[in-house]
Structure 1
Amino acid sequence: MGPVGRLVPAVTRAFDILELFLQGDGTLSAPEITRRLQLPRTTTHELVATLTARNYLVQVPEQPGRYRLGVRTYQLGSRYAEQLDLAAEGHQVAREVADTCGETVHVALLEDMDVIYIAKVDSTHAVRMVSATGRRLPAHCTAVGKMLLASLPASELEARLEERLEEGPLEAMTPNSLSDPEVLRAALAEIRILGVAVELQESNPDVSCVAAPVRDRSGRVVAALSVSVPVHRWSEDRENELTALATKGADELSARLGYRGGHPGGR
């Protein structure tokens, strides 16, 4: 939905200034702002003075004339983050991805060694799926689950895996399920390198899928987004196409959660 009414130039310029601080090392001087935004010097100084008075900018200690974002921007960002609903945001992004490719899209979380589906948008085609919103499935049998397991620190992964193995062998949902712990470990190591996970008829004999990681604002992987396809529509070209779509969707959901890229705060 577009803006209603006329944009106010002074407000637009103030936001332009604030958004400049998202780049580089996060500090700027008034002359740098003037040059980058091509503003009159007087306008820049008035806007910077106003933003500083309202605590949206503060002067950098021991660096006279340089500014950084102030506590007010942190407070606004924190309130926005508090209001985020991963399930709602996930469903919206899943809908966008599904509308693009016409296939089933999931968003899931990891709990112990299981995945819980928090969002699902069905394919426009008739496809039998074992997943459902709120349902739990063994993580090692799904693309989203393998992606989430691969994103755990090595020590935590081993602890969870060993605890599950104490209960008995890993479940096999289909003949293709990775129920051998050593095979699973090798697959997860490869997923860590690739950054995406592929499932080849491992939870459903009629379906394959690809998943990508979703990160929160700290860079921690908190969910995974997948695209599922009936095997009769699966091919190397389709896999590459859906890998790109899943990655794009996961990146979009990460951005909505506040992730800005760069070095993650955790796998």
Structure 2
Amino acid sequence: MGRLVPAVTRAFDVLELFLEGDGTLSAPEITRRLQLPRTTTHELVTTLTARNYLVPAPGQPGRYRLGVRTYQLGSRYAEQLDLAAEGHQVAREVADTCGETVHVAVLEDMDVIYIAKVDSSHAVRMVSATGRRLPAHCTAVGKMLLAGLPEAVLEERLDANTAGRELVRMTPRSITDPDALRAALAEIRILGVAGEQQESNPDVSCVAAPVRDRSGRVVAALSVSVPVHRWTEERENELTALAVKGANELSERLGHRAAR
């Protein structure tokens, strides 16, 4: 690997400062936060402004914000994103860490569709497969995605799919009562993660976390699935943390920036 260019590194350091706070900074603030000489800061800001990476903040003399060139670069990056490909890469990283099966899924109506799957290093019988559709309410990824829907949209879909009937049952432990599902989703919204205990497969339990796009909308979910004979409270906590970490990584790849 070649040598890093100090001036370029400093320029990126300056730009990344604008990801925090209200998105505006003055030259003295940049100098203080990066501990740079004032002359160096002036040269960097002048260069970045000349190239439209920074612009003067309207109505705030002496302050700057990100310019249109950063938006153009971000938009081009977003155009090239492939959720399935990015999801598979992150799922692979999570699976390599924990040795369990990892899924990434999206929601369509009241079903989930698996767009990425990395198998466990152990032999495990799973009902899931890339491209397969399953009832969302029976899976951790599905419940996570349903919990991310606006309430009006969720109710519309529930009404259209149940019409007074029970939800589809995949195992004896599947949630089939719409009111029980509503209660489960309310808890998931509070916790920020979802789980399922042998609800889609009598031999498997799962945990899932939400994947968000740059607008903050939940667009997918990432889960880790474990055979029940390896499922303990300690293991659940470990895998929940890994699912959250993986989902956050995928969210960042999609342009989401978590609140600080």
Partner secondary structure for residue 223 of structure 1 = strand
* Counterpart-to-counterpart distance in 2, 1:193 and 1:46: 47
Q: Does 1:248 align with 2:245?
A: yes
**Aligned residue for 1:5?**
2
Superposed, 1:1-267 pairs within 5 Å as: 4-166=1-163, 169-262=166-259
Partner secondary structure for residue 140 of structure 1 = helix
Bigger shift: residues 254-263 or 100-109: 254-263
Superposed CA deviations along residues 5-30 of structure 1, whole A, max 9, x for unmatched, are 12222211111111111122111111
Superposed CA deviations along residues 116-161 of structure 1, whole A, max 9, x for unmatched, are 0000000011100000000000001111001111111111100001
Matched positions, count:
260
Aligned AA for 2:110?
A: M
Q: Which runs of 5+ in 2 are unaligned?
A: none
* Counterpart-to-counterpart distance in 1, 2:220 and 2:255: 14
Aligned AA for 1:102?
A: G
State the TM-score, normalizing by the size of structure 2: 0.97
* Counterpart-to-counterpart distance in 2, 1:82 and 1:159: 31
Partner secondary structure for residue 42 of structure 1 = helix
* Counterpart-to-counterpart distance in 1, 2:190 and 2:36: 45
Aligned AA for 1:177?
A: S
Bigger shift: residues 164-173 or 69-78: 164-173
Q: How far is the alpha carbon of 1:167 from its aligned partner? A: 9.2
Partner secondary structure for residue 160 of structure 1 = helix
State the TM-score, normalizing by the size of structure 1: 0.94
* Counterpart-to-counterpart distance in 1, 2:223 and 2:47: 46
Partner secondary structure for residue 259 of structure 1 = coil
The alignment-based identity, stated in percent, is 85
Q: How far is the alpha carbon of 1:168 from its aligned partner? A: 5.1
RMSD between aligned residues: 1.3
Partner secondary structure for residue 244 of structure 1 = helix
Q: How far is the alpha carbon of 1:179 from its aligned partner? A: 1.0
Q: Which runs of 4+ in 1 moved over 3 A?
A: 166-169
Q: How far is the alpha carbon of 1:46 from its aligned partner? A: 1.6
* Counterpart-to-counterpart distance in 2, 1:33 and 1:203: 53
Bigger shift: residues 175-184 or 127-136: 175-184
